[in-house]
Chain A
Amino acid sequence: MMENAPVLILLAPLTGALLIPLLGFRFGRAVTMASLVASLFFGLSSLAQSLSAGPVHYHLAGWSPPWGIEIVVDPLSGVVASLVSAMAVLAAMYSGPFLAGWTRRRAGTFYSVYCLLVSGLVGIVITGDLFNLYVFLEISSLSAYALLSTGGSRSIVAVFRYLLIGTVAASFYLLGVGYLYAMTGTLNMADMSARLPNDDVAVLVVAASFIVIGLAIKAALFPLHGWLPDAYTYAPGPVVGFIAAVMAKVSAYALYRILYYVFDPVGGPRQPIELLGWASVIAVVAGSLMALAQKDVQRMLAYSSIGQMGYIMLGIAIGSPLALTGAVLHVINHAVMKGCLFMAVNGVQWKVGVFRVREFAGMAKRLPWTMGAFTVAALSMVGLPPTAGFFSKYYLALAAIESGHLSFLFALVLSSLLGAVYFFRVIEYAYLKTNDEPIEADAGTEVRELDASMLVPVVALAALVLLLGIFNQTVVTMLVVPGLPS
């Protein structure tokens, strides 16, 4: 079985997704957890294998590339795939209480679609075929649309908009792939990389531009981010932690993969990459500024995510080893930080019913562990050592200086300071201000912490923020550097 590990990373959740309806929508949670844990297990073992023996190539159905579709687990995709599975497991644990009151059929459907989402995301990460990526992109997108629309009436409208924009994005991507296919006759990433011309042919630039635009929309890069704030703000508690942490990043990863492994970033299309760089700088600053203006904590986090995606894209655009290290490290760090923040905030909303900053007054007394985790993750977002966020910022800042783009450095510093403002605002309310008005969902100020199944993921992620920070060099040398393009 272990020689099939690579494909099992995505087959396990897929099987889970199909199994749940077959079992009459019973055991939704159990099957989900089992399949996701299995996915994580296979992901980690493939990662371990790729670290010791080199990238793992798996040919689906035995057809060898370039005619068959292959799955490639190298250190980079292994890390990201494991990250996705791990976050999925935590989110599944977290979602329990939310779904407790649902009918069996509804909850079962939810879990089934959730597994489908995970398998789609993992598929994007580990596939070695450009069209296959499109397929998984759409699988994950459709599942996401379905899941996100369960968040109430506002979410339906937000998701419809997301659907339109997301499909446009996927179509752009497909168009780009079409041009590449026309030029080379292959869809396999490795094969295509060998066949693409090295110089700046016009077709190459067009293809690259289409692909970049398509994936940039999916990754919510400013100014193509319009779908994100509403989609995340009204997203239902059970999935927002996962989707916010992971989805946009997987698209950023796909962009990175294509730009640096399919295209040759030195001899290939420079213009889209430069444009990407400038868009990222603006994203970093604009995201922070917009977050500052929000009164709804979840919307604030959503805009903050736009800024953070800018960080990652910035690293990808600069392209030096330091920059790419920073970008990948930030993918890991931000997934953990943002996951923690969204889960904490949703937990507060679940338990106490509030979502505005000023309603967080005195929250630290009522949910001490949750707000403690929030504080740790918030410090990490601001970029203070020894939390994880500081270290990925350090790499990106160093890369910015090295590449001579001091404006990038300025943007990073500015966004840290802005982040301090809007995160400390919440912390101030939570810890320092007393709650004067009673809130209906709660009585008084006694401690009413989250249920264990919700609290454990939140606190675990906060602990991970600290651990990833302190041991960041271990993470970098063992997991990130092996995955850099050689």
Chain B
Amino acid sequence: MEIIANHRPLVAVAVSLVAAVAILLSRRHPNLRESWTLVAAVTKLAIVVSMLPGVLEGIVYESRSLEILPGWSLHLKTDPFGMVFALLAASLWIVTSLYSIGYMRAGGYTHQAGYFASFAVCVSSAIGIAFAANLATFFLFYEILTIATYPLVVHRRNDEAIGGGRKYLAYTLIAGQVLLVAILWAARLSPGASFSPGGFLAGTASPTSLRVLFVMFMIGIGVKAAIMPLHGWLPAAMVAPTPVSALLHAVAVVKAGTFGCVRIIGFVFGVDLVAELGMGTVLATFAAFTIVIASLRALGEDHLKRRLAYSTVSQLSYIVLGAALGSVTAIVGAIFHIAAHGFMKITLFFCAGSIYTKTHKEYIRDLKGLGRTMPVTFGAFTIGALGLAGMPLMAGFLSKWNLGLGALESGQPVVVFVLVLSGLLNFAYFFPIVHTAFFDGDGRGFRFDEASPLIWAPLALTAVFSIVLGVAPNYGFHFYELAQQAAASLFAPGPIMLAGGGS
């Protein structure tokens, strides 16, 4: 592994911060304002992608600047794991920006400057979290993400939005404090430590202390990762405008949580230590419960976005489960699912927004026959839903397959059962939507009556990419290869059996 000192990681983070200021200053010129967003998004993706070839070769780009806490500096490193999240966030930001522009303009929303500026800061923090090389940098961007998402959640400014915002803040700020205490503790055990594959806490304290510390970390991180019972904020946060729910609450914020989860398991404690402490099994149990119970809750929701929210809660725990199982293949599956789920879920949320923009319908019971007038939207929805259920040829299948194999590898076959059950439940709560859209209502033929292209084009794009990722998982961003490299780095070098698509 070769480390190159390079400021591209820092620039990638900073691009959208600069854009945020520019957006606020051009608040009276919508077109200029929007172009800042798009320029920044494209630039950011370009910078991140430019580092991809190097990372695949084993190069690590490192940017270390001023010290922010005793023993810790603002330290960014591009390892394969971080690249997965960064690529996901950067690529989806472009798509979401286009979608947002269409959505906000069609919906006649006010305060758009604040919206786009907050969005920019959020994506900035997401990249910061992805590339953070130590707990201090991680925590810094994690909390910035919390604060930057608040204006987005309460965007509509009605009582429901304010209530949702309060719940969101309550959960995330309390979790932030717990995380802070955990970080302080870790700072005392291992001052100045950076994230390292295999962890740095082994042997620094008694097993009981380490177990308590692990629990604290998981509570701190688990809120954003929506592990039950810490998930309550996510359905409440659906009061946000759909692009916010799509990118942030299906992709950025919650992925930051699960990303953090894997980081802590793999790079702070170390997979072996977690297994030794027995905490892997505990976490896996919580994750398994979340997967099943959230799916059951999804069945009971008639509000489309809330059903999607519970589906997200359930799917996120696939990632947590993979990390908790601790075998190589499981971790590959977990990391790949970060990307796969991102694309699939954002498609579904985009569809929900498209439906709302065109028809103002939010409840599933009202969707009868809409599939025939909005075929692109519901076609994409079908693709995303099948992918999440784990149908072969879709991205979701690949992650599930890896998770299943990983479960067998780590000697927990019951997990396979959970995965299968979850697939069935996914089908159960998505299929009725597809069915009622295409087959109910008055039996008229197909028309094309979608919302603006800025809205249906992005969702079509992400739907197609979900299929692409299932068939050729390394197309474009090399997600699968990155996942493999990342997982492999957590274990001692040796021959590794991996399943699924080639490179």
Residues of chain A whose beta carbon lies under 8 Å from any beta carbon of chain B? 379, 382, 384-386, 390-391, 394-395, 397-398, 401-402, 409, 413, 416-417, 420, 424, 428, 431-434, 470-474, 476
**B203 interface residue per 8 A CB criterion:** no
Query: Complex Cα distance A237/B180, Å?
Result: 37
**What are 13 A-B pairs at a CB distance below 8 A?**
A384-B147, A386-B140, A391-B69, A395-B70, A409-B181, A416-B177, A417-B173, A420-B169, A424-B169, A432-B154, A432-B157, A472-B69, A473-B67
> Is B185 in the interface zone, CB < 8 Å from A?
yes
Whether A470 contacts B68 by the Cβ 8 Å rule is yes
Contact yes or no, B68 A472, CB < 8 A = yes
Report B-chain residues with C-beta under 8 Å of the C-beta of A471. Answer: 66
Q: How far is the CB of B216 from chain A (nearest CB, A)?
A: 12
Contacts of B165 in A (CB 8 A): 428
Q: Which residues of A contact B491 (CB under 8 A)?
A: none
- Shortest Cβ distance from residue B450 to the other chain A in the assembled complex, whole angstroms: 33
Q: Is A470 touching B147 in the complex (CB atoms < 8 A)?
A: no
Q: Which B residues from 104 to 150 make CB contacts under 8 A with A?
A: 139-140, 143-144, 146-147
Closest to A400 in B: B184
SS class, residues of chain A in contact with chain B: helix
B69 interface neighbour in A394, A428, A431, A474, Cβ under 8 Å: A394
Asked, given contacts A385-B139, A402-B188, A432-B154, whether A397 binds B180 with beta carbons under 8 Å apart, the answer is yes
CB distance from B334 to the nearest CB of A (A): 28
Chain A positions within 8 Å of B147 at CB level = 379, 384
Q: Known contacts being A386-B140, A386-B144, is A417 close to B184, with CB within 8 Å? A: no
* Residue B464, interface by CB 8 Å: no
Please tell me if B416 contacts chain A, counting CB pairs below 8 Å: no
Residues of B within 8 A of A395 (CB): 70
Q: Which residues of B contact A382 (CB under 8 A)?
A: 173
Provide the residues of chain B in CB contact with A433, threshold 8 Å.
Answer: 157, 162
Identify A473's interface contact among B70, B169, B181, CB under 8 A.
B70
Alpha-carbon gap, A470 to B14, bound state (A) = 14
**Could you say which residues of chain B place their CB within 8 Å of the CB of A428?**
154, 162, 165
Q: Is the CB of A401 within 8 A of B143?
A: no
Q: Which 9 A-B pairs have the closest CB atoms?
A: A473-B67, A385-B140, A413-B177, A432-B157, A384-B143, A420-B173, A385-B143, A398-B184, A397-B184
Could you tell me the distance in whole angstroms from the C-beta of A320 to the nearest C-beta in chain B? 13
Min CB gap B268→A, angstroms? 18
Given A394-B69, A473-B70, 14 other A-B contacts at CB below 8 A? A384-B147, A386-B68, A390-B143, A394-B180, A395-B70, A397-B180, A417-B177, A420-B169, A424-B169, A428-B162, A432-B154, A432-B157, A432-B161, A433-B157
B468 at the interface (CB under 8 A from A): no
Residues of A within 8 A of B42 (CB): none
Min CB–CB distance B219 → chain A (angstroms):
13
Q: Which residue of B lies closest to A393 (CB)?
A: B180
Q: Is the CB of A473 within 8 A of B177?
A: no
Contacting pair A473 B162 (CB below 8 A): no
* CB closest residue in chain A, given B173: A420
- Residues of B close to A397: CB separation below 8 A: 180-181, 184
- Give B contacts to A, CB under 8 Å: 66-70, 139-140, 143-144, 146-147, 151, 154, 157, 161-162, 165-166, 169, 173-174, 176-177, 180-181, 184-185, 187-188
A401 touches B69 (CB 8 A): no
Give Cα A431 to B118, complex, Å.
14
Give the docked Cα–Cα distance between A164 and B173 (Å): 42
Distance from A484 Cβ to chain B, minimum over Cβ atoms (Å): 14
- Set of chain B residues within 8 Å of A424, measured between Cβ atoms: 166, 169
Contact B66 A474 (CB under 8 A): yes
B162 touches A432 (CB 8 A): yes
A residues in contact with B166, CB < 8 Å = 424
Q: Please measure, in the bound complex, the distance between the C-alpha atom of A379 and the C-alpha atom of B165, giving whole angstroms.
A: 16
Query: Which residues from B are CB-within-8-Å of A420?
Result: 169, 173
A434 vs B166: C-alpha distance when bound (angstroms): 18
Q: Given A413-B177, A432-B154, are A394 and B140 also a contact pair (CB < 8 Å)?
A: no
* B73 nearest CB neighbor, chain A only: A473
Residue of B nearest to A413 (CB): B177
Most chain B Cβ neighbours within 10 Å, of A391, A402, A424:
A424
Residue of B nearest to A390 (CB): B143
Q: Give the distance in Å from the alpha carbon of A270 to the alpha carbon of B66 in the complex.
A: 39
Q: How far is the CA of A413 from the CA of B173 in the complex (A)?
A: 10
- For A406, the closest partner residue in chain B by CB is B181
Chain B residues with Cβ below 8 Å from A416 are 177
CA of A391 to CA of B136, assembled, Å: 11
For A379, what are the chain B residues with a Cβ–Cβ distance below 8 Å? Answer: 147
CA distance A354 to B166 in the complex (A): 25
**Given A385-B144, A417-B177, A473-B70 in contact, is the A401-B162 Cβ separation under 8 Å?**
no
The docked-state distance in angstroms from the alpha carbon of A385 to that of B68 is 10
Most buried by A among B161, B180, B185: B180
Residues of B within 8 A of A474 (CB): 66
A431-B147 Cα distance, complex, nearest whole Å: 14
**Bound CA span A428–B157, Å:** 9
Nearest CB on A from B59, distance (A): 29
Give A328 Cβ to nearest chain B Cβ, in Å.
14
| Distance to closest chain B CB from A274 (angstroms) | 23
Nearest Cβ in chain A — how far from B150, in angstroms?
Answer: 9
Known pairs A391-B69, A473-B66; A417 contacts B140 (CB<8 A): no
**Which B residues are in CB contact (< 8 Å) with A401?**
184-185, 188
Chain B residues with CB below 8 A from A391, complex form: 68-69
Q: Which residues of A contact B177 (CB under 8 A)?
A: 413, 416-417
Determine the distance from Cα of A394 to Cα of B147 in the docked complex, in whole angstroms.
Answer: 19
Most chain A C-beta atoms within 10 Å of own C-beta, residue among B68, B157, B166? B68
The docked-state distance in angstroms from the alpha carbon of A240 to that of B44 is: 46
**B68: A residues at CB distance < 8 A:** 385-386, 391, 470, 472-473
Report B283 CB to chain A, min CB distance, Å. Answer: 24
Chain A residues with CB below 8 A from B146, complex form = 384
Residue of B nearest to A394 (CB): B69
Q: Return A158 CB to nearest CB of chain B, in Å.
A: 34
- Complex Cα distance A472/B166, Å? 30
Residues of the A chain whose Cβ atoms lie less than 8 Å from the Cβ of B67: 473
Chain A residue with the shortest CB-CB distance to B161: A432
Contact yes or no, B188 A398, CB < 8 A: yes
Report A-chain residues with C-beta under 8 Å of the C-beta of B180: 394, 397, 413
User: What is the minimal beta-carbon distance from B210 to any residue of chain A, in angstroms?
Assistant: 16
- B139 to chain A: which residues have CB within 8 Å? 385
Chain B's nearest CB lies how many Å from the CB of A268?
A: 28
- Shortest C-beta distance, B291 to chain A (Å), equals 30
CB distance from B142 to the nearest CB of A (A): 9
| Distance between A471 CB and nearest chain B CB, rounded to angstroms | 7
Which chain A residues border B174 with CB–CB below 8 Å?
417
| A413 to B184 alpha-carbon distance, docked (Å) | 12
